[in-house]
Amino acid sequence: MRGVVFDGARVEVVDDLEIRDPGPGEVLVAVAAAGLCHSDLSVIDGTIPFPPPVVLGHEGAGVVEAVGAGVVHVAPRDHVALSTIANCGACGECHRGRPTMCRKAIGAPDQPFSRGGKPVYQFAANSSFAERTIVKGVQAVKIPDDIPLTSAALIGCAVVTGVGAALNRAKVDRGDSVVVIGTGGIGLNVLQGARIAGAGVVVAVDANPEKEAVARRFGATHFFRSTEGVRDVLPQGADHAFECVGRVELVREAVELLDRHGQAVLLGMPGASAEASFVVASMFLDKSILGCRYGSSRPQRDFALYAELYRSGRLLLDELVTATYPVEDFGVAVADAEAGRVARGVLTF
């Protein structure tokens, strides 16, 4: 079968991948669509260390082909969006409603694939850049059949991370002021999360002026090419500032934009050893810096919520999909993403 494999030196679309049968508690999914996220590119450039060879992709949707023993919540022919959180469901964190903090969900990656008789790793417990993938049952979330799978794929990363950061982690409230630095796939979803929450002033910041129209469509009330103009709109600072780029200097700027009791939420992924600095004295006005993993979500609950918000017209999904590419055009999709030409490019099988 076809898939996108990174061997540690280069990426290629191969057609000789093999995948094992699903075991107990697992689901075999025929992937229909998968969004190209910056995290996939970060594996390629080394920002996210990951052992090769690995099948990339972690933002996908498809149709269940088979289930292992004990899986009862999905069945063959069901449409599913795929989560990257392979949580155990039995530990203290899972029982507290914090599956993203499950320690068993982070660790040695599985190798359900093989190529030429040699095992191939799975990225983010997902690997949606393959015609078929195997996930834990808890990662397969049933969605209505009337949601296009090219749109549903984005629920599994960009949407759950961005919207979840606004609703679950920051808990943006009605009338709050919000600044979003970076309006890629994650930033656009923070914007619409803030809109759904009823935020008042929502400022988008992006160096690319061509991003303004789409940022406003997703919920921005103001747009600036740098943070310099933000204080003109929010002279006392923002209740919430989201850094969605992954640059340490922008982390500092997010902190400096906060009002009293404000919080900066870090979503962008800098290098693994990157360090950021800020003026410590400024934090004693009850300000906070928050990390956020996967939108602090509960995927089985949140994916279903986002599907219903989409069906009611409150959550934009189709508008995120700027372009679709057959998987063979992976290189074209990467070039478009790196040039900032797309909100989200989606690979199809």
Which residue's entry shows tokens 């999905």? 74
Q: Which pLDDT belongs to residue 295?
A: 97
The structure tokens listed for 11 are: 């990426």
Note whether 217 and 319 are within 8 A (CB). Answer: yes
Q: Report the side by side order of strands in the sheet with 202-205.
A: 222-224, 202-205, 178-181, 238-243, 258-266, 288-291
Tens digit of each residue's pLDDT (9 = 90 or more) over 66-80: 999 999 999 999 999
Q: Which pLDDT belongs to residue 319?
A: 96
Mean pLDDT of 167-195: 97
Residue 170 makes CB contacts below 8 A (sequence gap 6+) with 240, 242, 263, 265, 290
**Closest to 264 in 3D by CA, of 285, 282, 291, 246:** 291
- Helical H segments across 38-126, by residue range: 38-45, 92-95
Q: Are strands 11-14 and 3-6 parallel, antiparallel or unpaired?
A: antiparallel
Cα dihedral 81/85/87/93 (nearest 10): -120
Q: Are strands 222-224 and 202-205 parallel, antiparallel or unpaired?
A: parallel
Q: Which pLDDT belongs to residue 100?
A: 95
Q: CA–CA distance from 299 to each of 91, 164, 176, 294 (Å)? A: 16, 10, 26, 9
DSSP class of residue 221?
S
Mean pLDDT of 203-216: 96
Tens digit of each residue's pLDDT (9 = 90 or more) over 47-61: 889 999 999 999 999
Residue 67 makes CB contacts below 8 A (sequence gap 6+) with 22, 26, 27, 28, 74, 75, 76, 137
Q: Is 273 left (phi over 0), alpha (psi -120 to 50) or beta?
A: alpha
Tens digit of each residue's pLDDT (9 = 90 or more) over 229-269: 999 999 999 999 999 999 999 999 999 999 999 999 999 98
**Closest to 275 in 3D by CA, of 241, 252, 295:** 252
Rounded CA separation 303/286 (Å): 32
Task: With a cut of 90, say whether residue 106 has pLDDT above it.
Answer: no
Tens digit of each residue's pLDDT (9 = 90 or more) over 107-150: 678 999 999 999 999 999 999 999 999 999 999 999 999 999 99
Task: State the SS3 of 247-297.
Answer: CHHHHHHHHHCEEEEEEEEECCCCCCCCCCCCCHHHHHCCCEEEECCHHHC
Helix (H) or strand (E) holding 66: strand 60-67
Number of H helices and E strands in the chain, helices first, is: 10, 19
pTM given for the model: 0.94
Task: With a cut of 90, say whether residue 348 has pLDDT above it.
Answer: yes
Counting Cβ atoms within 10 Å, is residue 24 exposed (0-12), middle (13-18) or buried (19+)?
exposed
Q: Which pLDDT belongs to residue 219?
A: 98
Q: Which pLDDT belongs to residue 271?
A: 80
